[in-house]
Structure 1
Amino acid sequence: MFQHLSIRTPFDDVALREEFRQRLNKVPGVEIAAAKLALRPGFPLKVLVDPDTRNTLIEQLGWFYEQAQVDDSDR
């Protein structure tokens, strides 16, 4: 949901959204094009069947959560 993130701190920074996109693309079976950075791309849920793939996604979502918790004064 990059479209919705684009108006929310800290993901209103295009560089941070791009980093998240690249991190998501590390998940096997997930391929989000750079052109989708302002849209609402998805990926096939079947990629979550594999436990290792699922864990990779959880790691990337953990990074996302950490970024969302950072106070603006910490940037």
Structure 2
Amino acid sequence: MLACAAAERLFNTPAVSRKSYMHPALLDLAGQSGETRAALSSLPCPEIADLRISERRLIEFLGSASENAPKTP
């Protein structure tokens, strides 16, 4: 559903949207329960000018997902 919405907005296919524009952690999050997704509201909100709270929480989530990702040589 996320990829289809992005594809429509960006005039691409869902496959291109998933591969080119969507962070893998975001796709994983979309498959989680509502309770897990609701946990995003407890993430700290970095102060970044001109961003909505939801956008700042997403940046924090993606940063923490990157820190926890397995390291590849």
TM-score of the aligned structures, taking structure 1 as reference length = 0.29
| TM-score, with length taken from structure 2 | 0.29
RCO higher in 1 or 2 (8 Å CA, sep ≥ 6)? Answer: 1
Instruction: Please say which structure displays the higher CA radius of gyration.
Output: 2
